Amino acid sequence: MLDRFQRKITRLRISVTDLCNLYCVYCKPPQGVHQMPRKEILSFEEIAFVARCATRLGVRSFRLTGGEPLTRRNIESLIASLSEIPGVEDLAMTTNGVALKQHARAIKDAGLRRINISLDSLGEDRFRRITGGGNVRDVLEGIEAAVDAGFEQTKVNMVVIRGTNDDEIEAFARLTLDRPLEVRFIEYMAFGCRMVEEEKFVSSKEVVERIGRLGNLEVVDVDGKRGGEGKTPGLSGPRVSLRGPAKLYRLEGARGVLGLISPVSQPFCGDCNRLRLTSEGKLRACLLAGGEVDIKSILRSKDHAADVTNGRSNPALEQEIRDVFIKVSHMKPKVHSGRGEPVMCQIGG
């Protein structure tokens, strides 16, 4: 499946719920979010049906998001269903980690292969302010549980916000010294026209300069190995990871690696290979631009609903869903404007 600019679509991000057990300052809009009725959220059977259709178009990688995916009851059963679909080569999850300690082993056993954990402060009081009341100890214990469960190169995502947590960049980098983690620093995006938000922006270049104070940084290739010759003092040279848009480095002697994700200073739209399925059943071309098509209304039409619920083959419906994927892929913009008002808890970041 190719979009208009010959980018091959191989990934689908699936928001399984709009619910979250945190209220992070950069995720939910100031006016709050109206919780959708449970019946408006896609069922596991509907999600699995869409995923099967997607694999027949060449989608190979799926990521479960939210809201917070671990708030969705029996999420292990969805993971098991998706992992058994022929053609699924990668199945990952992005979580805030609050409930991960209780779920890590079960979701790994169900077939989840990779996990990203959002963590924006290591300080208890600051974490509580950023997340609207969360306990950082829950997340730190969740990270350890993920490593213990056997998730390889567990990722920790930090959105860097000037004046909020940018003084913790070095502390986050140190997490990789004795742990097999990939700590990723993500540039803050100011959604909409809130220009004052742009004062909170910290570039990846500045992040690398700060981390460089801790020691020599080595370029890392997509397999996690040292790459290039000698040491690098800045951002030139590293290749984009095949696992995503991060540019990878390692502090000399560290067990883990560092990732830089730069959607503002170094947009990676040219390599974008993903679509998004929202929790309410809309297939979306891009986080910020393009367009979307309502898949839920097709799945729940009187001619198809019973087949989807009972897992029966329905070639006509499958073709209709594949046609929607092709239509939405053609909606993808060449480069997004960097502006928009996405409701992150419904789209999945």
The pLDDT score that the predictor gives to residue 239 is 32
pLDDT at 136 over 50: yes
pLDDT at 109 over 90: yes
The pLDDT score that the predictor gives to residue 230 is 37
The pLDDT score that the predictor gives to residue 155 is 97
Instruction: Name 18's Cβ contacts closer than 8 Å, sequence gap at least 6.
Output: 33, 35, 36, 41, 66, 67, 279, 280, 343, 345, 346
Strands 247-251 and 257-261: antiparallel
The pLDDT score that the predictor gives to residue 245 is 80
Would you place residue 97 in the very low, low, confident or very high pLDDT band (cuts 50, 70, 90)? very high
Q: In percent, how much of the chain has pLDDT > 90?
A: 72
Would you place residue 349 in the very low, low, confident or very high pLDDT band (cuts 50, 70, 90)? low
What's this model's pTM, rounded to 2 decimal places? 0.89
More confident residue, 196 or 282: 282
Q: pLDDT digits over 216-252, tens only? A: 999 897 655 555 433 333 333 333 333 568 899 999 9
The pLDDT score that the predictor gives to residue 30 is 61
Q: Kindly state the average pLDDT of the residues 98-102.
A: 97
Give a yes or no: residue 252 inside a domain: yes
Q: pLDDT digits over 145-174, tens only? A: 999 999 988 999 999 999 999 999 999 999
pLDDT at 347 over 70: no
The pLDDT score that the predictor gives to residue 287 is 83
Give a yes or no: residue 6 inside a domain: no
Q: Kindly state the average pLDDT of the residues 263-290.
A: 88
Q: What is the 3-state secondary structure (H, E, C) of the chain?
A: CECCCCCECCEEEEECCCCCCCCCCCCCCCCCCCCCCHHHCCCHHHHHHHHHHHHCCCCCEEEEECCCHHHCCCHHHHHHHHHCCCCCCEEEEEECCCCHHHHHHHHHHHCCCEEEEECCCCCHHHHHHHHCCCCHHHHHHHHHHHHHHCCCCEEEEEEECCCCCHHHHHHHHHCCCCCCEEEEEEECCCCCCCHHHHHHCCCHHHHHHHHHHHCCEEEECCCCCECCCCCCCCCCCCCECCCCCCEEEEECCCCCEEEEECCCCCCCHHHCCEEEECCCCEEECCCCCCCEEECHHHHCCCCCHHHHHHCCCCHHHHHHHHHHHHHHHCCCCCCCCCCCCCCHHHHCC
Whole-number average pLDDT of the chain: 88
Give a yes or no: residue 3 inside a domain: no
- Residue 84's domain is classified under what CATH number? 3.20.20.70
Give a yes or no: residue 256 inside a domain: yes
Burial of 271 (0-12, 13-18, 19+ CB in 10 A): exposed
Q: Kindly state the average pLDDT of the residues 127-144.
A: 96
Q: Kindly state the average pLDDT of the residues 287-311.
A: 91
Give a yes or no: residue 110 inside a domain: yes
More confident residue, 1 or 195: 1
The pLDDT score that the predictor gives to residue 265 is 80
The pLDDT score that the predictor gives to residue 31 is 64
Q: What are phi and psi of 15, to 5 degrees?
A: -85, 115
* Cα→Cα distances 114→38, 149, 233, 308, 324, Å: 27, 11, 30, 28, 28
Number of domains in the chain: 1
Give a yes or no: residue 5 inside a domain: no
Domain interval for residue 148: 11-347
pLDDT at 194 over 90: no
Would you place residue 289 in the very low, low, confident or very high pLDDT band (cuts 50, 70, 90)? confident
Q: pLDDT digits over 1-45, tens only? A: 999 999 999 999 999 999 999 988 777 666 666 788 999 999 999
More confident residue, 27 or 118: 118
pLDDT at 106 over 70: yes
More confident residue, 313 or 167: 167
The pLDDT score that the predictor gives to residue 34 is 72
